[in-house]
Amino acid sequence: MRSFVDVSALSPMRIVADAANGMGGLIVPAVFEGLPFEVDLLYGDLDGTFPNHPADPIQPDNLRDLQARMLSTGADVGLAFDGDADRVFLVDDKGQLVSGSLTTAIVAKVMLDEHPGATILHNLICSKAVPEIIVENGGIPVRTRVGHSLIKKVMAETGAAFGGEHSGHYYFADNYRADSGIIAALVVLQALSAAGLPLSQLRIPYERYASSGEINFEVDDSLAVIDAVAAAFPKAQQDRLDGLTVQAGRDWWFNLRPSNTERLLRLNLEAPTPAAVAGHVAEVSRLIAEHA
């Protein structure tokens, strides 16, 4: 079986892993045993009622305990898993969240070092820094719709070595194209070991833009609202690969995508600075409200 990291190249680190009472409570101890890491496991007991917090690390509120433990213990890296541990979000040594896009970019660079010229997938909500970094490292970026079944299909069609999503899913061709939070975490830990830098510094070259995160709006007719918002940007580059994506200006873009299960529209927006993000979110939010 392929090894995704060079165990001999890993440096000692202090890690806090929040299993959220899910499968990470079994996987983390088994995988990290024998590695040069001091692991502090939070909520490792399996409990499907998730008594401490929901097992959804994309929600910032669910990272509070992990961030607090990291800051109180001086840990190097935090790992937040979902219920079945196929997703992971990282927290750096300063207690700051590492986005799924940022982790995708870091892992993509490592995969391109190992597979020069490879195709790398990223869903259309990932930061535009992701395809930039893939190209800069000699890879071929392919933009996809959101969703694991769709990405696995594109991986099979393109022979991609790796794919990442903003939601913390990371897919590896050598893992039968399946997503694995633990593999992604180990790849980042190897990158940290090789760089000899804390995660708060390693992340800097990859973090080029500010993001809104996912903002939900309750609407009665998602498609009608999407059409109305699209009409408000007649000169902008647009596509309907998954919902509506608008390159609204030279330096900002957004995606508006309907939920498959709820009467919600999900907005993700990126711009150069947090202030610009806030201004453009207000602009798009007003448009949505006018037609909701």
Q: How far apart are CA 248 and CA 117, in angstroms?
A: 31
| Domain definitions of the chain by residue range | 11-98, 100-206, 210-291
Is the pLDDT confidence value at 192 over 50?
A: yes
Cα three-residue angle 202-203-205, rounded to 5 degrees: 90
Is the pLDDT confidence value at 134 over 70?
A: yes
Residue 79 pairs in a beta bridge with 17, 90
Question: How is residue 169 annotated by DSSP?
Answer: B
What's the average model confidence in pLDDT over 113-132?
97
Q: For residue 148, name the pLDDT band (cuts at 50, 70, 90).
A: confident
pLDDT tens digit sequence for 243-276: 999 999 889 999 999 987 888 999 999 999 999 9
Q: Where are the alpha helices (DSSP H) in 124-221?
A: 129-136, 148-158, 181-195, 199-202
Range 11-98 classified under CATH 3.40.120.10: yes
The CATH H-level superfamily of 100-206 is Alpha-D-Glucose-1,6-Bisphosphate, subunit A, domain 3 (3.40.120.10)
Q: For residue 292, name the pLDDT band (cuts at 50, 70, 90).
A: confident
User: Residue 2: what pLDDT?
Assistant: 64
- Same CATH fold, 210-291 and 11-98? no
pLDDT tens digit sequence for 206-252: 999 999 999 999 999 999 999 999 999 999 999 999 999 999 988 99
What's the average model confidence in pLDDT over 169-179?
95
Name the residue among 16, 40, 36 with its Cα closest to residue 95: 16
Second CATH level (architecture) for the domain 210-291: 2-Layer Sandwich (3.30)
What's the average model confidence in pLDDT over 140-162?
95
Q: For residue 31, name the pLDDT band (cuts at 50, 70, 90).
A: very high
Alpha-carbon distances of 15 from 20, 25, 36, 182, 205, rounded to whole Å: 15, 14, 10, 13, 23
What's the average model confidence in pLDDT over 63-84?
97
pLDDT greater at residue 286 or residue 148: 286
Is the pLDDT confidence value at 1 over 60?
A: no
Q: For residue 108, name the pLDDT band (cuts at 50, 70, 90).
A: very high
Q: How far apart are CA 137 and CA 267, in angstroms?
A: 30
* 119 within 8 A of 97, measured Cβ to Cβ: no
What's the average model confidence in pLDDT over 10-20?
97
